[in-house]
Amino acid sequence: MNFKKIAKNTLFVFLNVLAIGTALAIAVFAYVYVKTPIAENLSTRNIPQTTTIYDKTGQHILYELHGEENRKILPHAEIPDTIRIASIATEDNNFYNHYGVDFLSILRAIRNDIEKNGAAEGASTITQQLAKNVFLSRDKTLQRKFTELVIAIKIERQYTKDEILDMYLNEIPYGSNAYGIASAAKIFFGKDAKDLTLDEAALVAALPKATSYYSPYGNHLDELVYRQQKILDRIGELHLASSQQIAQAKQVNIKDKIIPFAEKIEAPHFVFYVKEELEKRFGKDVVEGGGLKVYTTLDYDLQKNAEQAIAENETNLQKYGASNAALVSLDPNTGNILAMVGSKDYYNKSIDGNVNVTISPRQPGSSFKPFIYAAAFEKGFHPENRILDVETNFGKDGSGKDYIPQNYDYSYHGVVTMRQALANSLNIPAVKTLTLAGMENAVSLINRFGVLDLQNKNNYGLSLALGGEEVRMLDEAAGYAVFATEGKKNATQSITKIVDAKGAVFYAPETSSLQVVDPQVARKINSVLSDNSARSMVFGTGSKLYIPGKTVAAKTGTTSDFKDAWTAGYTPHIVTVVWAGNNNNQPMKSGADGSYVAAPIWNSFMQKALANYSNEPFTPYEKFDATDANIIFDKVIYTKKDSGKVISEEKAKSKDQDKINTSIEYFTATEAISQ
């Protein structure tokens, strides 16, 4: 047997197989290289980033919006060396020496896996991990691994090592929805990534290997700390930090530095109001993944003031059987929402605390009356005009019953001025004022003010004058703002601007201002509601509607069954509306009216809000010919007890209340009269 020939043939076959295998491998590599994703757009592609909602100054983060991936992309200068060296020591200590793939590490990993009788895995470089996170699935297949290798080589050809490391640190998942080092630093240590110390960076670098197992909020915290200590040792072995730095880092009790897991949110009702507005305008995907910076209108100090005003009145709320309260405040000159507290405790499920009462329809009671009087003033009436406050039957209501409203104090005050009637919140004159203004005119004004959207004047009864229709606190505040601006309506705003992830202005709201009522009408309302003497008949001169040294206009509201208590008030630069009650519509205790339940909160808030402002008196309304000021306006039909006959009387002129016919049993209002 010719052994030489056999050996020669064997070698020939081996070399041919090797050549064919090499050629085939090169061909496969070339094919995959061409077909794999282009790496050139790696640094410029759209990556889901967390959207941040700020207060108006941009100094306070209210909330961060994101989908599954809570991520912020950091530039090179904001990524600290501590996390760079910790990541290199943990994941790829040969990072700066290889070309995307570390073949020696792969061979060592294969040998170790064979010895352990396991599947070959591991030894992925930082570049390979970046390729996997960006372009590939998590499948552990040979094809996926080979594709990962090819993409890694392409990435290395296109980018510098520092660029690759930056992209990796901005991409890698760290668990707890933290993607990228910025989110990890914020979630686990409550700080910016640039401020991470070496001990903190080592703990963060320990997480990517098994984010669930090593989670700081899981059941393996001791194992995580052990791994963190080993990473610090490895950093020392690689001379990436001094022995003194390593010793100091290892002495730190890292457990005490991990902050409790909590979704940080300030002004939650306002935040979710803004979030809903954003999603309506831009869509959920853009909001949660666009990396937007949303600058809102919220005044952080006023928001805290509002929250405190409700909290410090908790005992009073309980006294009157109110489990909840809400407050909203606007800048009338811009329409900007300055503060919004939708309930006294967002997290209290027993009171439906997550419900935002400021945008939930509730009956406003007498706080609605200024809009009715404004409609009368627009028609030509004045605060000095006189009206008759006696028991009055206004005819059949929608249910077929006679509508005979009562005043809050169940008494009658005879002839009163419209100023007195509105300031003291008398119900009967308010209903008569609606008849004098005319339903069509009142509906028109209410729609122009934006308090309600009343489509058909024939659908509403005279109880509209007493707050019979439900309104939102936010809309009523916007309506009161029209008075504060002397008739100008500014669109309600919650956002001042939005900046995209690249720093460009993404959105800036259009402002609008429309004169919806004559300034003289607004000035009359301002005069009445700020007249502390005029309301003294019912409220006294020291009520919670009065703020010493400040001119404020204010009005309370209470529903007849004590389900809702309101106080609304304003100056020329701030409008605030407060509600108290129970979200489930359970009545409060008897006597729980707006002046006792809501007004203390309003007063507390407004005193602090106005503390740094000088007094701002309202502009007086123009004087008018007062020759008809003593006319008692009452176009009614009444019945005399003795005859039972119906007699029509258009108006009674008298300066003396004793001269008014005392045999009136009831009145039925007909169409309104003009002067």
How do residues 79-100 score in pLDDT, each as one tens digit?
Answer: 999 999 999 999 888 888 887 7
3-state helix vs strand vs coil in the chain, percent to 5: 45, 15, 40
Among this protein's residues, is 91 annotated catalytic? yes
Asked if 204 and 182 count as a contact pair (C-beta separation under 8 A), the reply is no
Question: 379 pLDDT exceeds 90?
Answer: yes
Q: At residue 324, what are phi and psi to the nearest 5 degrees?
A: -145, 160
Question: 224 pLDDT exceeds 60?
Answer: yes
Q: Is 175 left (phi over 0), alpha (psi -120 to 50) or beta?
A: left
Question: 571 pLDDT exceeds 70?
Answer: yes
Share of the chain above pLDDT 90, in %: 56
**Range from 28-42, 43-57, 604-618 that averages highest in pLDDT:** 604-618
Cα–Cα distances in angstroms (integers) from residue 268 to residues 201, 281, 306, 341, 634, in the given order: 31, 20, 13, 8, 49
pLDDT band (50, 70, 90) for residue 654: very low
Structural domain boundaries enclosing 5: 1-35
> What's residue 142's pLDDT?
61
Number of domains, the chain: 3
Q: Report the first-to-last Cα separation within the chain, whole angstroms.
A: 136
Both 103 and 219 in one domain: the answer is yes
Q: For residue 437, give the CATH number of its domain.
A: 3.40.710.10
Q: Strands of 178-179's sheet, edge to edge? A: 70-71, 178-179, 173-175
Residue with the bigger pLDDT between 133 and 331: it is 331
Residue 455 lies in a domain: yes
Residue 41 lies in a domain: no
Range with the lowest mean pLDDT among 364-368, 380-384, 511-515, 631-635? 631-635
Q: How far apart are CA 89 and CA 130, in angstroms?
A: 16
Both 385 and 459 in one domain: the answer is yes
Query: Which residue, of 237, 257, 277, is where some domain finishes?
Result: 257
Both 27 and 80 in one domain: the answer is no
**Of 87, 366, 527, 595, catalytic:** 366
Both 111 and 252 in one domain: the answer is yes
Both 17 and 124 in one domain: the answer is no
Q: How far apart are CA 159 and CA 139, in angstroms?
A: 26
Among this protein's residues, is 366 annotated catalytic? yes
Q: How far apart are CA 205 and CA 183, in angstroms?
A: 13
Cα 584–chain centre separation = 23
Both 28 and 115 in one domain: the answer is no
**Of 91, 148, 156, 307, catalytic:** 91
- Side-chain-facing half-sphere of 335: CA atoms under 13 Å: 19
pLDDT band (50, 70, 90) for residue 9: low
Residue with the bigger pLDDT between 101 and 300: it is 300
Query: Which residue, of 257, 289, 315, is where some domain finishes?
Result: 257
Residue 614 lies in a domain: no
How do residues 385-440 score in pLDDT, each as one tens digit?
Answer: 999 999 998 887 766 788 899 998 889 999 999 999 999 999 999 999 999 999 99
pLDDT band (50, 70, 90) for residue 371: very high
Q: How far apart are CA 368 and CA 447, in angstroms?
A: 13
Task: Tell me the pTM.
Answer: 0.77
Residue 590 lies in a domain: no
Asked if 324 and 355 count as a contact pair (C-beta separation under 8 A), the reply is no
Both 235 and 128 in one domain: the answer is yes
Residue with the bigger pLDDT between 329 and 120: it is 329
Share of the chain above pLDDT 70, in %: 79
Residue with the bigger pLDDT between 336 and 142: it is 336
Residue 93 lies in a domain: yes
Question: 185 pLDDT exceeds 70?
Answer: yes
Both 114 and 236 in one domain: the answer is yes
Range with the lowest mean pLDDT among 58-67, 146-155, 512-521, 653-662? 653-662
Residue 324 lies in a domain: no
How do residues 598-624 score in pLDDT, each as one tens digit?
Answer: 999 999 999 999 998 899 999 999 977
Residue with tokens 């909840």: 324
Residue 510 lies in a domain: no
> What's residue 532's pLDDT?
93
Residue 424 lies in a domain: yes
Residue with tokens 């729609």: 447
Both 161 and 231 in one domain: the answer is yes
Averaged pLDDT, 245-249: 94
Q: At residue 489, what are phi and psi to the nearest 5 degrees?
A: -105, 120
Residue with tokens 């008298």: 654
Both 167 and 250 in one domain: the answer is yes
Nearest to 559 by CA among 503, 533, 521, 598: 598
> What's residue 566's pLDDT?
96
pLDDT band (50, 70, 90) for residue 25: low
